Structure 1
């Protein structure tokens, strides 16, 4: 703890994250819309109208700012901006200008993600990230966005969780395109890393924004203590973590200006499992997603991320639960992990919780509740901040983790 009693300095950024497809609704031109309407995929329901954020963004940002948020991470939707190859929508670009202006007008720093899982359907239909000119097509989209929105861009996230795009989409078949191919899995991961580098060059050429890759870094461990399982765990570590952290360190010119770290769980790797991962051992607390809760893993993975030699923002971290007291406990453990990493020398500059709102959670649909703010999709999408939203607001305003539990503080202080 610092001399003034704070766990985090005044300049530390606080906020939450959203992704366009998960909140906007009616993203009908994307590969995800097609995937979730195909009865043969892993998706359990349609995203539908989302949480109507496309229309309500201004009120949503005002609400987040009122909860002490000084930053917000959001994505812009490639499928809306470029609905056909080379055909860019001026109206959609104007919409995102209004979105980014509203973030700025509410006093929040925007972290803008260019690619958050979804692709235009035309891009997916021609091979997606396996197409020979995939990076070229991505570059054209990035350049158009940077030229059109560059004056409103402060921090740009190039690609969200490239290793999960590759893992879920090309090895597990859990996300589009629903493929289970070990060769394509590795190939796509490397393509996405190259696409990140290309996007960094364009952002730097066309804007004054900083930019970074956003990676999910689970803490991986072998499910059993034997050589085969250990070797398989090392292989998974190489593809999910090392490829990206070491790849950025090896190319500092195009690595970007910072690294976004996203952490949710400890994973036990099992070569005998059809899903690659074993369930958590008995007695380990889990979330609605079945993910193991292991706060110290965030501290460990922040140290691993520091090997990229870039400043770090925690760009996602959160829990799916119906029990909001559990969310506050989760925040306590994971914020202490961030504070410990900072005290140990890791340059962490902000924390963005996943997620701002209960929303569409990809193949899991609307069942998992990650949000600081509840959304009643059956009654005009009414927003209701949960106690955890006010608890995090107290931390943002005081810099103290213990403020999570200071319920006696006045509304003005929260």
Structure 2
């Protein structure tokens, strides 16, 4: 098999034709969309637009088929056992909130424990906090060791407390750290816990096999996978999904309604209230089909090359404080310039049309631990070029000189 061709891959993305001057390194926030995704969503709205499941007319039947075909595409991509295990949401955050609400009203009882890590995005912290105090559920946090990796010894001690839920990110959105999930999830299951994976960043790094991964639930957003915004997925084992109290009510999630009470529909409709993001689901299916044309290991290998090139170049720039580690990294490097605010560095890069993200990256507890006011994040995708990495390093060196003046 030939080596990965980044230039050819990039040509699938109209953004880079329309904005050739921009170096886009904000891929952890959202990725660009290939032509196939844009065409699929545009075609639906132009020629097939209709609501799903409810209409007797042919347009509705076509829309329903497209929507359910998208569910099947996700099921196959994740290797789920049943199409009913795929719940469409508005994104990872919505999926995690559905889990926290649903489990808190059924499985979790006062005195139960939930384990998360110090690397978590706010969505995997706040969604639980919204209910824990009210229901008397305790949140335990796995600390980091001196190398900013998960402290696995501390994790074992938390598992000994018999947590009811272990909810972990697959990849840190701030540092790029890949968690040793396979072992951690197996150990959590052995301790009797329900396991949840925040795959928002991980989905673009590694295609999960949910029948092999010891995850009861897996959440991700389409827009991190070259798909549209506003659509995401909550995968769950069917028996556990059926235990969730729906977060939202109305629409197709209802089987029957009276003023005395209501009965919920079967899965997946039970957890999909209201009119869904039909075009978004179609766009996600198109993104999956697009990605499936490429060798996943080649994509990962190329991202490692981008990361290493950038990391090695940073060693030549004085004053850089690198927070991320090169090893065990999914393509994200976060850094600061000593003594300078991260927003100032990002602003100088923006002037040279280099798109990065500065701030706390929805991980305030992590930055409190790091004792940093925030950081600048560089996140790579396979459509980025080595020449762009070199351009970014030159711009960084110039920015450091300006800040030091």
TM-score (norm 1): 0.24
Q: Between Structure 1 and Structure 2, whose CA radius of gyration is higher?
A: 2
